[in-house]
Structure 1
Amino acid sequence: MSVAETLRIHHFEPFSYSNGPGKRAVLWLQGCTLNCPGCFNPQTHSPTGGASVQLSGLLSRIFRISPSIEGITISGGEPLQQLRPLLRFLAEIRQKTHLSVILFTGFTPEEINTFPASNKLSELIDVLIAGRYDKSHPSENLWIGSSNKTIHFFSSRYSMADLLHVPTGEIIIEQSGELLFSGIDPLIFR
């Protein structure tokens, strides 16, 4: 199996309200070398953590739930450190669903522009939230993380007003009975 056919994921959540506008699936990718101080997802940093998942299986899960969700949010870890399979995954989402796509990355737009095939990214996502997390710069829009991050709209699907109404956190009861805390500082509801 080639690298382009798999993504290393930390967790897939089929239904969330605190990771973008509306009811969304969330895909947290595994692996990040940026190591932003104060990162609230340090468990996603190890490149050997999580699970290697075939794109076909992941896409099948999303296609099955697509009538019930507005979009998918991709976070991490660092999604762009798996750029080649991520672009393939996003192309399938764009071609075969109505879903919106929001992507969180710790890379700045200037850094992204140096990546091979990065120009395809803007065609495959609706919103890019870019830049390192900096806990010393809290954001008024708390689900975004820190105020130094920049927000880029690549379609007219969402506006800043839509992003301002996203809940900052939620508690999800998994089918296994486990509790999942999702969002920015999900235990500190403001």
Structure 2
Amino acid sequence: MFFADEFADEPMEIRIHDILTKSAANGPGNRYVVWFQGCSLACRDCFNPATHDFNDGRILSVEEIMEDIRRQDNHISGLTISGGEPLQQPAALLALVNAVRRDTGLSIIVFSGYRKDEIERDPVGVRVLDTIDVLVAGRYVPSRHRGSGLLGSSNQILHFLSDRYDRDACEAVPVAEITISRDGKLNLTGVQPPNL
């Protein structure tokens, strides 16, 4: 199994790669995006290779992320979690999605390289799936590149786990966007566009 169902009594921490407080290319509407740091799947030609190393990134508590989400709440419609592989920090992922579900009205989308049936093999994975609205599941396969509707490759599957969104809403999401951070850094986010 790839999950560990061990929850500490201390505040939950997440190793993150980055946070974008407002994005239109990571799900329907304006979204708060958290990229988890660390992924052992290492899909060939991954769009986010800088998220793979488990020793990079920075540590934030779930409460620190929730405080930032609350500050943005009037300007966003949902939370998108990507990576890296969020399900390789299962307890932290569950703590975050539970806090968002409990404390806000935001929708929740999770991108994972695991297939849904792989996630369902573990009780923590099942609890995550019970809490979120959409799962984008499956490893990126470059020979099947799609680059639209939240899907990087055609083998990936959108699983609608609530009635919050449908396929049309996800197909309407822009493929990618470029943002400029306050320190002047350019960020390309979304799914890898065709011919990039």
* TM score, norm. by length of structure 2: 0.90
Partner of 1:74: 81
The answer for unaligned runs of 5 or more in structure 1 is none
Match of 2:61 among 29, 54, 70: 54
Alignment of 1:102 with 2:109, yes or no, is yes
Alignment of 1:24 with 2:24, yes or no, is no
Flag as ranges the 4+ runs of structure 1 deviating above 4 A. Answer: 1-4, 186-189
Question: How far has the Cα of 1:181 moved from its partner?
Answer: 1.2
CA RMSD of aligned residues (A): 1.8
Partner Cα separation in structure 2 for residue 72 and residue 23 of structure 1 = 9
Partner of 1:170: 177
Partner of 2:18: 11
Alignment of 1:122 with 2:140, yes or no, is no
Match of 2:50 among 43, 60, 73: 43
Aligned residues with identical type, % of pairs: 40
Instruction: Kindly indicate whether the alpha-carbon contact (under 8 Å) linking 1:18 and 1:182 is maintained by their aligned counterparts in 2.
Output: yes
Instruction: Kindly indicate whether the alpha-carbon contact (under 8 Å) linking 2:11 and 2:61 is maintained by their aligned counterparts in 1.
Output: no
Secondary structure, counterpart of 1:117 in structure 2: helix
Secondary structure, counterpart of 2:123 in structure 1: coil
Instruction: Kindly indicate whether the alpha-carbon contact (under 8 Å) linking 1:4 and 1:84 is maintained by their aligned counterparts in 2.
Output: no
Q: 1:135 to 1:142 in 2, by over 3 A?
A: farther
Partner Cα separation in structure 2 for residue 140 and residue 173 of structure 1 = 22
Partner Cα separation in structure 2 for residue 186 and residue 43 of structure 1 = 18
Q: Deviations over 1:6-35 (max 9, x none)?
A: 000000000011111111011100000001
Partner of 1:180: 187
Partner Cα separation in structure 2 for residue 185 and residue 122 of structure 1 = 25
* TM score, norm. by length of structure 1: 0.93
How many residues in Structure 1 have an aligned counterpart in Structure 2?
Answer: 189
Partner of 1:85: 92
Instruction: Kindly indicate whether the alpha-carbon contact (under 8 Å) linking 2:80 and 2:109 is maintained by their aligned counterparts in 1.
Output: yes
Question: How far has the Cα of 1:142 moved from its partner?
Answer: 5.1
Partner of 2:168: 161
Partner of 2:153: 146
Partner Cα separation in structure 2 for residue 122 and residue 35 of structure 1 = 23
Q: 1:174 to 1:30 in 2, by over 3 A?
A: same
